[in-house]
Amino acid sequence: MSPDDRALSGRQPKAVTSALRVLEEVARAGSGVTAKDIAARLSMPSATTYRLLNILVGEGYVVRLPDLSGFALGQKIGVLVDAAVVPTVCAAAREVLAELRLSVRFGVHLFYYTNVAVRTADADPEYPPPEDESFLNQHLYACAVGKLLLAEKSELESVIPRWEPRALTARTLVARSELIANLDLIRSRGFATQLAELRDASACVAVPVRSGSGTLVGSLALSGHVDHEHLMLRHVPSLREHAERLAPLMA
């Protein structure tokens, strides 16, 4: 038995189960529910219910409503929901991607966005992206598709709660001011680049895919060697054209 196993007392699993039941009741209530109502519905002692709600509030899974009418789900629940959603790509969208892949000698990848994360929807099987989805989400500031998402936010803290970037290469933007300047550039020209910021030899150019209302729903990206940056940038108009065709198929 490991030290961690011994640290888990016999009562803790039951407490976790009780906390999850409280969370489910808050979710069912939708617009808000009081601790008293939750205790009654679960036949749970009021003191236990309050204690579990305080823990859930402290961890960000539940919030107290401003009008003091009760509790509702917190922002952290959105992270769990986003992670559970599996991106799907319809046949028509795959045809658009196949057409683009036949016209370029770089990797062509389609990504979906949740509120705070990047999801790989369709990676090029012939030229796969240099890093997987998990790595990209850990380093949004260092990848083109991540920077497109960050450029949509009015405050970086909504996606990166703590600014503690790690230099993956000598060109990774680790200074907050430099990243903000780069995001301003992305907004002005309408596409993002990653030039040896994620890996020394890698490069990526990404354009947004937007819904009819202008909401960022995904991105279309080219990946290749950093020495081919100038060639990849020539494809931006074509990427935009294909992104416009993909938009109604993704929104």
> Is the predicted pLDDT of residue 6 greater than 70, yes or no?
no
58-104 pLDDT per residue, tens? 988 999 988 878 999 887 887 777 777 777 899 999 999 999 999 99
Give the residue, 57 or 156, on which the prediction is more confident.
Answer: 57
- What would the mean pLDDT of 200-223 be, rounded to a whole number? 96
> Is the predicted pLDDT of residue 165 greater than 50, yes or no?
yes
- What would the mean pLDDT of 24-37 be, rounded to a whole number? 88
Q: What's the mean per-residue pLDDT of the chain?
A: 90
| CATH entry 3.30.450.40 includes domain 84-249 | yes
Separation between Cα atoms, residue 29 and residue 248, nearest integer Å: 34
> Is the predicted pLDDT of residue 112 greater than 80, yes or no?
yes
Residue 216: burial class (beta carbons within 10 Å; 0-12, 13-18, 19+): middle
> Is the predicted pLDDT of residue 173 greater than 80, yes or no?
yes
- What would the mean pLDDT of 202-225 be, rounded to a whole number? 96
> Is the predicted pLDDT of residue 30 greater than 80, yes or no?
no
- What would the mean pLDDT of 48-54 be, rounded to a whole number? 93
Return the pLDDT at 177. Answer: 92
As given in the structure block, the two tokens for residue 196 are 């040896």
CB of 122 closer than 8 Å to CB of 97: yes
CATH architecture for the domain at 12-73: Orthogonal Bundle (1.10)
What would you measure as the largest C-alpha separation in the chain, in angstroms? Answer: 66
Return the pLDDT at 242. Answer: 97
Return the pLDDT at 29. Answer: 85
Return the pLDDT at 1. Answer: 45
Give the residue, 43 or 115, on which the prediction is more confident.
Answer: 43
Separation between Cα atoms, residue 192 and residue 183, nearest integer Å: 8
Helix axes 46-59, 35-42, angle to 10 degrees: 120
Domain parsing of the chain, residue ranges: 12-73, 84-249
- What would the mean pLDDT of 133-142 be, rounded to a whole number? 92
> Is the predicted pLDDT of residue 163 greater than 90, yes or no?
no
Separation between Cα atoms, residue 56 and residue 23, nearest integer Å: 8
- pLDDT band at 251; cut points 50, 70, 90: low
212-221 pLDDT per residue, tens? 999 999 999 9
Return the pLDDT at 188. Answer: 97
Name the percent of the chain lying above pLDDT 90.
Answer: 71
> Is the predicted pLDDT of residue 204 greater than 80, yes or no?
yes
